[in-house]
Amino acid sequence: TSLVRREVAGLPAYDPGADPGEVAALSGAARVIKLSNNESPFGASPAVAEAVRLRLAESVSRYPDPTGKRLAEAIGRSLTVPAGRVVLGNGSENILELVCQAVLGPGDLVTTQAPGFSLHEIFPRVMGARVEKVPVTAGFGFDAAAWGAALAAGPKLVFLANPCNPTGAILGVGELERVVAGTPKSALLVLDEAYREFARPDPEYPDGLAVLRGQDRPWIVLRTFSKAYGLAGLRVGFGVASDTALVEALDRVRTPYNVNQLAQDAAIAALGDHAHLAETVRRTGLEIARVADRLRDKGFRVAPSSANFLFIDTGHRADRVTRELHRTGIIVKAWREPGYENFIRASLSTPEDNDVFVRRLTEICAKGK
Ligand code: PMP
């Protein structure tokens, strides 16, 4: 036991949700409906399969480009930022980890939101940092007063997700600007925009890059190909940083070949298919509104979501509800943070699968499980 650092021994493990194979065996369902990881039910652009096929036909016996130059340049062009301020990750979660390794030491303070994304807490704690989680308001919104007080305590690093996970709520431009203004200049502000593509049609949703671009302070905006682009299985995300020095610091802690060549090629192809992205966002938006309405009609309390998932108060113990759903072949996530024991987070799928989910959830909760 003394082999493992105290910080690590005391950590909660990341919860990826139930294993589809086990749920298939448990339920006997011919097809498991997986709503636990906020993936895209609409898949990736067809250009992705072609790019991967080409690379496989050519060769994968060489190491990938260690800095992902072509992809970084494609991202840089699409966002009008220099490629030298783009850092690539094996998923954007890899960049969360790099940021913590580069910036945090024992006792440093990290500020983030609750309920929130577990890795915003786990990675800082690995470094021995303390994490203060600012609760959302009763209506799942941004609590400006609480954030003001938390930021005044002098964090070294701030993790803010917009849209937020698990609620799906967004911060408006004024709220984001308040966080930016309140974060000490000596701290790194990390804006995690994993779900931004889904929120962009909302006129209230601010473009984080536009807000931070002119700011004379350290910041990094994180984005991913895992969600709206449908590439979760390939693991590729990226950060746009305030300056190249920050990217160089992350490069020093990064494993040299952290993004594999197929993922780099796939991301370039995905980035070029605007029509596929637009269609995914359009279909997701329609479904989110429809399913949230249906759930509310059935009496469930549902957080207002601008993302591709819903945070649902089931009115019953979420671990039991989740277990019952697993028995019917549906995988969702029971939330594990204090105060949210009755909440599940369910990702959107196709209309057919979503209807099955609503029906089963309603049946299970009516039984009073
Ligand atoms: N940030 C948030 C808020 C997320 O919900 C997720 C995925 N669950 C990630 C980052 C990481 O995603 P990925 O590593 O696939 O880019």
What's the CATH class of domain 6-31+275-366?
alpha beta
Provide the whole-model pTM: 0.97
Per CATH, domain 47-273 is 3.40.640.10:
yes
Two structure tokens written together for 316: 């019953």
Q: Find the Cα–Cα–Cα–Cα dihedral 275, 160, 95, 9, rounded to 10°.
A: -140
Position 37 pLDDT exceeds 50: yes
Q: Say yes or no: ipTM exceeds 0.95.
A: yes
The protein residue with its alpha carbon nearest to ligand 1, atom 2, reads 194
Verify whether ligand 1 is closer than 6 Å to residue 192 (CB atom).
Answer: yes
User: Sorting pLDDT into bands at 50, 70 and 90, what band is 148?
Assistant: very high
pLDDT in tens, 239-286: 999 999 999 999 999 999 999 999 999 999 999 999 999 999 999 999
What pLDDT, on a 0 to 100 scale, did the predictor assign at position 2? Answer: 86
Q: Quote the ligand 1 centre to 58 CA distance (angstroms).
A: 31
pLDDT in tens, 194-249: 999 999 999 999 999 999 998 999 999 999 999 999 999 999 999 999 999 999 99
Atom of ligand 1 nearest to the CA of 92: 16
- Ligand 1: which of 113, 224, 231 to mutate, most ligand atoms within 8 Å of CB? 224
The protein residue with its alpha carbon nearest to ligand 1, atom 13, reads 91
Verify whether ligand 1 is closer than 6 Å to residue 38 (CB atom).
Answer: yes
Q: Quote the ligand 1 centre to 3 CA distance (angstroms).
A: 30
Verify whether ligand 1 is closer than 6 Å to residue 91 (CB atom).
Answer: yes
Position 369 pLDDT exceeds 50: no
Verify whether ligand 1 is closer than 6 Å to residue 116 (CB atom).
Answer: no
Atom of ligand 1 nearest to the CA of 164: 3
Distance CA 119, CA 123 (A): 6
Domain ranges of the chain: 6-31+275-366, 47-273
Q: Quote the ligand 1 centre to 192 CA distance (angstroms).
A: 8
